Amino acid sequence: MPATIRDVARACGVHISTVSRTFSAPHLVNPETRNRVLACAERLGYRPNRAARALITGRTHNIGLIVADIANPFFPPLIKAAESQARQRDYHVFVADTNEDPAVEEELVHALAKQVDGVLLCSPRMSNGLIEQLGREVPLVVINRRVAGLPAVVMDVGRGARLAVEHLTGLGHRDLVLLAGPRGSWTSREIRRSATAAARAAEARLTVLGPNPPTEEGGRAAAERVRRTGVTAVLAFNDLMAVGLLEGLDALGLRVPEDISVVGIDDIALSRFTRPRLTTVATPTAAAGRAAVDMLLQHGGLAATRTGRGRSDTGDDRRATAQVTLRTELVVRDSTGVAPAAPARRRLAR
Amino acid sequence: MPATIRDVARACGVHISTVSRTFSAPHLVNPETRNRVLACAERLGYRPNRAARALITGRTHNIGLIVADIANPFFPPLIKAAESQARQRDYHVFVADTNEDPAVEEELVHALAKQVDGVLLCSPRMSNGLIEQLGREVPLVVINRRVAGLPAVVMDVGRGARLAVEHLTGLGHRDLVLLAGPRGSWTSREIRRSATAAARAAEARLTVLGPNPPTEEGGRAAAERVRRTGVTAVLAFNDLMAVGLLEGLDALGLRVPEDISVVGIDDIALSRFTRPRLTTVATPTAAAGRAAVDMLLQHGGLAATRTGRGRSDTGDDRRATAQVTLRTELVVRDSTGVAPAAPARRRLAR
DNA sequence: ACTTCTGCTGCAAACCTTTGCAGTCACACC
DNA sequence: GGTGTGACTGCAAAGGTTTGCAGCAGAAGT
């Protein structure tokens, strides 16, 4: 029932190759013919069959986007931006969710490999080695991780963590806790490294607690441990944890920011609505999504497995391996304040 | 470079059709042969080419999911559930975002049509007529709307609205406002109808304000108008609006729930974190996502355009047109309380 | 011993499109 | 007038898979 290139050709009295060219290489066909073909196509409601096209060109005009958890508010803005950018370039995007499971991650890359021109791997939990290997199977762009030999877009969370710590020490805090993220997270390591350095520079003490699950529950569960350390300020791996911590501290009778200051990372929409509103490090997630698809497309344009007959691979292995770094900024809201005269621990004693 | 069915056949000393059958109709091949083929395939890293498969079967094993705004917190749980359910059935899902624009909606259905076995149309803003027409082009399941002749899954927001109104009148409120959603939203009409009826039954007055954009800003902007009506309780089209309203009322110096009660709809994650925590109607978004892909797959199994040679269409037009309705529930939290003795308007006057 | 059946495998067409090559035609140039 | 040029179009192969049909062997039934 759906019209094919052949139907259009017949209706128009031309050969199918002419119809094909009208769509894929318009400059090769006489304007007059072209218009006639276009008209017939329009009339018959013809739409090129992407599967057939993919079969012969080897390019699907699809990309895959793999994230840990679609429902985690950090991701949707990134997904949205990537999808929009891709569509502008006439690409569609498969979105897949790993449920934070590295095994699923790998499986998904495989499942998608034959069906896309490349995949965006977001905040992977896999080992670097495995990622490199997968990168040999299908063009890959990694988000929130640096992997040797692979294009990547990362957020400058190191800077963000430093700004956060400086903000806190500037308010007089001398005793800090860092709530680390999940094991295997590149971002978490980065934050830790930078926060430690910044604390040392300001002659403050920084205790690292973790790893913790990067969820609200992870933050809530950490509240008790935080209290026992007696610190006056906390930097959390992400906003979700920070928000959970806010709740946990509240349940323990500690006031934020009077008794203890809290800083998150990500600036998810939610952080503007908590009470107190969360001080946090804004990460440009939308920009990251856009940048990632641009890198994939521009780069994949060369590297994509071209199974058509033309097959002009020019040394598949040494890929340009650009890595872009996006800037983060501190957003000061209400969850941070000057260090209390007496640490929170004392307050609990009364 | 990537292994094809032919490579496997050669490595195994069988005909390609045997390899094909090993994957697509295993019961037709001798267990012994099958295992040999499987082993070869494994060894060569063979993965079936879905484009080629799609080309001949006419089934892509992909589905499209079209939503108004990925970043709107109402959608991610639905997307996640749909994707997960689809993957279990060996389907992948294209996610697309319309930016609330009906024109983009239509364009997307077209763009996806040739590339998927069906599409899930979520909270469409298009006209019913257009949807019906598109439904003739590609199998369609509509979410949050009833369209004649098309399978649909809707949430019983009518019930939710009734429960909300009864909850409020039960607390002594006699003067209510409904903040309507965007024009063209089936859900909004449904809520309005039901809330009006419930208010009448309880002998309360209900004023409808709107249409409003279904966003936080929409709620905030409505605060002033709400205050002028002097009501003691508000039901909002969705949680985003309710949260915005909370902020707007706060800015006007009105306390929730002491001066005025607020109820939202959807129970997005955010509503547990506002202060006061939002009373709302929980909609089973994840279940809706799952149900929708099930309907599409089960139904699309028959209706899908079979372009292969078998072509055994049995009366394309009269499709089974199941419509499932999911139950909503009221979740009482802190944004609702007993009606104040004097309405809010008075309080402002002092 | 002959047919019938069953279980398995091979054959080849078909799905729709792209694209290198070759052919046609008109026109201009020498 | 012959040759060359350029613009356009047709031809046919190729891409990887599925599937109706036919073939074949061996078992079972008569």
What HEC string does A261-312 produce? EEEEEECCHHHHCCCCCCEEEECCHHHHHHHHHHHHHHHHHHHCCCCCCCCC
Q: How far is A189 from chain B (nearest CA, A)?
A: 28
Are B121 and B133 in a shared domain? yes
CB–CB of A270 and B274 under 8 A? no
Of A54, A83, A114, the CB nearest to B97: A83
pLDDT, tens digit, for every residue of B196-250?
999 999 999 999 998 999 999 999 999 999 999 999 999 999 999 999 999 999 9
Interface test with A, best of B7, B67, B80 (most A CBs within 10 A): B80
Does residue A53 form part of some domain? no
Are A178 and A265 in a shared domain? yes
Q: Model confidence at B300, in pLDDT bands (50, 70, 90)?
A: low
Are A151 and A163 in a shared domain? no
Q: Model confidence at B313, in pLDDT bands (50, 70, 90)?
A: very low
Is the CB of A30 less than 7 A from some atom of nucleic acid strand C?
Answer: no
Question: Under a CB-based contact definition with an 8 Å cutoff, are residues A249 and A227 in contact?
Answer: yes
Count Cα neighbours of A79 within 13 Å in the Cβ-side half-sphere.
32
pLDDT > 60? residue A171: yes
Are B161 and B127 in a shared domain? no
Which residues are CB-neighbours of A129 under 8 A, at least 6 positions away?
Answer: none
pLDDT, tens digit, for every residue of B70-86?
999 999 999 999 999 99
Is the CB of B17 less than 7 A from some atom of nucleic acid strand D?
Answer: yes
Does residue A97 form part of some domain? yes
Helical residues (DSSP H) of B202-304, grouped into ranges: 216-229, 239-251, 285-303
Are B162 and B274 in a shared domain? yes
Nucleotides on strand C lying under 7 Å from protein C-beta: 7-12, 14-20
pLDDT of the residue at B309: 34
* Three-class HEC string of A130-162: HHHHHHCCCCEEEECCCCCCCCEEEECHHHHHH
CATH, residue A15: 1.10.260.40
What tokens appear for B333 in the block?
């939290």
Question: Under a CB-based contact definition with an 8 Å cutoff, are residues A199 and A176 in contact?
Answer: yes
Q: Can you tell me which residue has its alpha carbon closest to the C1' of nucleotide C20? A: A310
Are A169 and A101 in a shared domain? no
Are A208 and A277 in a shared domain? yes
pLDDT > 90? residue A320: no
Are A106 and A198 in a shared domain? no
Interface test with A, best of B6, B23, B50 (most A CBs within 10 A): B50
Are A213 and A259 in a shared domain? yes
Q: What integer is the mean pLDDT of A166-184?
A: 95
pLDDT, tens digit, for every residue of B176-186?
999 999 988 89
Q: Is A184 in the B-facing interface, judged by CB distances under 8 Å?
A: no
Are B79 and B137 in a shared domain? yes
CB–CB of A73 and B269 under 8 A? yes
Q: How far is A270 from chain B (nearest CA, A)?
A: 6
Looking at per-residue pLDDT, the higher value among B350 and A212 belongs to: A212
Residue of B nearest to A51 (CA): B51
Dihedral of alpha carbons B66, B68, B72, B75, sign: negative
In degrees and rounded to multiples of 5, residue B282 shows phi and psi of: -80, 125
Does residue B349 form part of some domain? no
pLDDT > 90? residue A133: yes
Residue type, B32: E
Which residues are CB-neighbours of B155 under 8 A, at least 6 positions away?
Answer: B144, B187, B283, B284, B285, B288, B325, B326, B328
Are B200 and B137 in a shared domain? no
Across the strands, what pairs with B64? B94, B119
Placement of tokens 């609200």 in the chain: A216
Q: CA nearest B123: which of B199, B184, B193, B60?
A: B184
Which residues are CB-neighbours of A299 under 8 A, at least 6 positions away?
Answer: A139, A141, A151, A319, A320, A322
Are B39 and B15 in a shared domain? yes
CA distance B320 to B318: 7
Range of the domain at A38: 5-48
Placement of tokens 């490199």 in the chain: A132
Angle at the Cα of B24 (from B18 to B30), degrees rounded to 5? 45
Q: CB count, 10 Å around CB of B33?
A: 16
Percentage of chain A with pLDDT > 70?
91
CA distance B64 to A56: 23
